[in-house]
C-alpha cells in the first residue's frame, strides 16, 4: 500500500526546498521553447523543448524520463557526465508531473526509441500533488468531470474530443467567413429574453436596480443587425437556459446561429448542409460518421421530406385525415403530453418528435412544421397553418433547427400574442412579447433565413459521444455533498 497523499505531498515540498537550496529558480518567468515534441522527432536534429515529466527512471548517474507537451511525448536521457554533478543533483529531485525545459541532440536508442540526449536541463515548475498511476480505475465518473485537468492528462481520448471541439469551431468560422458572413457579438445580459422557447436565468443589476436575464438565444439581436444593414451575420454564442440536466442538455451551452438576408429556408438548408459536410471533412477527415450503431454518409444530397410525409411513412398517419380523437388516443397509448394549450397540430408534432425522429437515420431535412410550434418562423407561402421551418436529422437524432424568418412586425406580434396565451396556460418556456424587437422590425427587414446549431451537439455527432458532459471541458456539476 502506498504512502498517504499528505505524506507524498510533503516529500515533494521537501524536494522543492532542496532545489531552492541548490540555488535553482523554482519558478522561472519564461522559457524559450522553440519546438514541439512532434517537430523534433527527426534523428540527428537539435532539440529545444519543454513539457511535463510523465515517466521517471533513475539508474545511478543516468536518468531517463518521458517528456510530454501538447503535441506528443518523447524519452529524454540525462547523464551526469554530460550535464555535470550539480545539475544532475537537480535531476534527482525531479518527480513525475514536474515541468522542465530540455535541449540536446535527438537520436535512436538500441531498442529503437527516439530519444533526446540532454545537454542542458532547466527546471520550470514542481508538481506538489502526484498524478494518479492510472485514471482508468476511478470509479466515480463525476470525479473525472470535476477534475477535468487530470482527466485530460491521463486519458488521451478525452483530450482528443476537446481537440475536435476547438477544430469544429475553427472550421465553422472558416466556412462562414468564406461564404461572406460577418462574425458579430450580441448581449448576454438582456432586459428581456427571447429567440426561442426556453426558461431563462434571472439576475439583478444593482447599478440600475432592475431584474435582467441571461441570454437564451442571440436570435432577436442578430435580426436587429439585419434591420441595421448587415446581410450575412453569425455568432458563436454562450447561451443559458434554466432547465433540466440530462445526457443532451446543460444549462450553459454554446450555439452557433447565422442569418442571411434575401434567403429562404431552402437556401439556409443548402448553406447548412455544406457547413456540416465541411466541418466533418476538416475535423474527422471524412464524410463518414459513426452515430450510435449507425454508419452514416454525409457526402450525398440530403433528403427533404415534409413532417406530414414522415408521419405517413413511419407511422401510417395521414395528417389531413386523422381525427382529433385518434390523435388523443395515440398520445394516451404512448404516454405523451402536449405542452401548453392543446391543438391537434401541436399534438401531431409531439407524436413526430417522440415516435418518428429516431427512424431518420440517413441525413434528412424535415420541413413545413405547424405554425403552432414555430413562433418565429414565417408562414408557409402555399400551405395555410404551416411554417417554412426545417429540422436536420442524422442517425436518428436532431442536429439543427432553422426557418424562413418572420420579417413582418404585424405577423410577429400575432405569434407573440399566441405565446402569451401559452404562458398563461402554464407553458414556462413560452416567449414573452418583445416590443423593442417589434419596433425594430417596423423599420423594415428584408426577406430572411436563419438557423441555430448547438456546438456541443455537433461535437457529439462528430465524436459519437452521447453525453454532453463528455464534450464540455467543465460541465455544470452538483455541489459536493448535495
Q: Which residues are annotated as a binding site?
A: 391, 398
Of the candidates 398, 392, 395, the residue with the CA atom closest to the CA atom of residue 457: 398
| DSSP per residue, 382-395 | SSTTBBSEEEEEET
Residue 135 sits at φ, ψ, to 5 deg, of -100, -10
What is the rounded (10 degree) CA torsion for 374, 375, 376, 379? 70
Task: Could you list the residues known to form a binding site for Mg(2+), using ranges.
Answer: 391, 398
C-alpha cell at 274: 455544406
C-alpha cell at 471: 464534450
Q: Are residues 174 and 167 in contact, defined by beta-carbon separation less than 8 angstroms?
A: no
**Residue pointed to by grid coordinates 464540455:** 472
DSSP helix/strand/coil, 337: coil
The length of the chain in residues reads: 482
Residue 9 CB burial class (10 angstroms; 0-12, 13-18, ≥19): middle
Round to whole Å and give the CA distance between 175 and 221.
Answer: 22
Round to whole Å and give the CA distance between 381 and 449.
Answer: 14
Round to whole Å and give the CA distance between 377 and 263.
Answer: 13
Q: Are residues 297 and 287 in contact, defined by beta-carbon separation less than 8 angstroms?
A: yes
**Residue pointed to by grid coordinates 418583445:** 434
Round to whole Å and give the CA distance between 266 and 304.
Answer: 10
Amino acid at each position: 500500500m502506498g504512502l498517504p497523499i499528505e505524506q507524498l505531498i510533503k516529500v515533494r515540498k521537501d524536494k522543492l526546498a532542496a532545489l531552492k537550496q541548490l540555488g535553482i529558480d523554482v519558478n522561472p518567468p519564461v522559457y524559450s521553447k522553440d519546438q514541439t515534441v512532434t517537430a523534433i522527432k527527426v534523428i540527428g536534429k537539435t532539440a529545444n523543448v519543454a513539457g511535463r515529466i510523465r515517466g521517471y527512471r533513475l539508474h545511478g548517474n543516468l536518468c531517463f524520463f518521458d517528456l510530454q507537451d501538447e503535441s506528443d511525448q518523447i524519452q529524454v536521457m540525462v547523464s551526469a557526465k554530460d550535464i555535470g554533478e550539480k545539475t544532475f543533483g537537480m535531476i534527482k529531485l525531479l518527480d513525475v508531473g514536474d515541468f522542465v525545459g530540455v535541449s540536446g541532440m535527438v537520436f535512436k536508442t538500441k531498442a529503437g526509441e527516439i530519444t533526446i540526449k540532454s545537454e542542458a536541463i532547466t527546471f520550470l515548475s514542481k508538481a506538489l500533488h502526484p498524478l494518479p498511476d492510472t485514471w482508468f480505475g476511478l470509479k466515480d465518473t463525476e470525479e473525472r468531470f470535476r477534475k477535468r485537468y487530470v482527466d485530460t492528462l491521463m486519458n488521451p481520448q478525452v483530450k482528443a474530443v476537446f481537440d475536435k471541439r476547438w477544430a469544429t469551431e475553427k472550421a465553422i468560422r472558416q466556412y462562414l467567413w468564406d461564404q461572406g458572413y460577418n462574425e458579430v457579438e450580441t448581449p448576454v445580459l438582456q432586459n428581456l429574453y427571447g429567440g426561442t422557447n426556453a426558461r431563462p436565468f434571472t439576475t439583478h443589476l444593482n447599478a440600475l436596480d432592475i431584474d435582467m436575464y441571461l441570454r437564451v438565444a442571440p436570435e432577436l439581436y442578430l435580426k436587429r443587425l439585419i434591420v441595421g444593414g448587415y446581410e450575412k451575420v453569425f455568432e458563436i454564442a454562450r447561451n443559458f437556459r434554466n432547465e433540466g440536466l440530462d445526457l443532451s442538455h446543460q444549462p450553459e451551452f454554446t450555439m452557433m446561429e447565422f442569418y442571411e438576408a434575401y434567403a429562404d429556408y431552402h437556401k439556409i438548408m443548402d448553406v447548412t448542409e455544406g457547413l456540416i459536410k465541411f466541418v466533418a471533412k476538416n475535423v474527422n477527415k471524412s464524410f463518414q460518421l459513426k452515430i450510435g450503431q449507425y454508419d452514416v454518409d454525409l457526402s450525398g444530397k440530403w433528403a427533404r421530406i415534409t413532417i406530414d410525409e414522415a408521419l405517413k411513412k413511419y407511422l401510417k398517419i395521414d395528417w389531413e385525415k386523422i381525427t382529433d380523437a385518434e390523435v388523443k388516443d395515440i398520445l394516451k397509448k404512448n404516454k405523451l403530453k402536449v405542452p401548453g394549450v392543446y391543438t391537434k397540430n401541436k399534438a401531431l408534432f409531439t407524436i413526430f418528435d417522440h415516435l418518428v425522429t429516431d427512424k431518420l437515420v440517413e441525413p434528412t431535412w424535415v420541413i413545413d412544421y405547424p405554425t403552432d410550434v414555430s413562433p418565429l418562423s414565417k408562414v408557409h407561402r402555399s400551405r395555410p397553418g404551416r411554417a417554412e421551418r426545417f429540422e436536420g436529422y442524422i442517425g436518428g437524432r436532431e442536429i439543427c433547427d432553422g426557418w424562413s424568418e418572420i420579417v413582418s412586425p404585424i405577423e410577429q406580434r400575432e405569434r407573440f400574442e399566441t405565446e402569451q396565451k401559452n404562458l398563461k396556460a402554464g407553458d414556462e418556456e413560452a416567449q414573452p412579447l418583445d416590443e423593442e424587437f417589434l419596433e425594430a422590425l417596423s423599420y423594415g427587414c428584408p426577406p430572411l433565413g436563419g438557423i441555430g446549431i448547438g456546438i456541443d451537439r455537433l461535437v457529439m455527432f462528430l465524436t459519437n459521444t452521447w453525453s454532453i458532459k463528455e464534450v464540455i471541458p467543465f460541465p455544470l456539476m452538483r455541489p459536493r455533498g448535495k
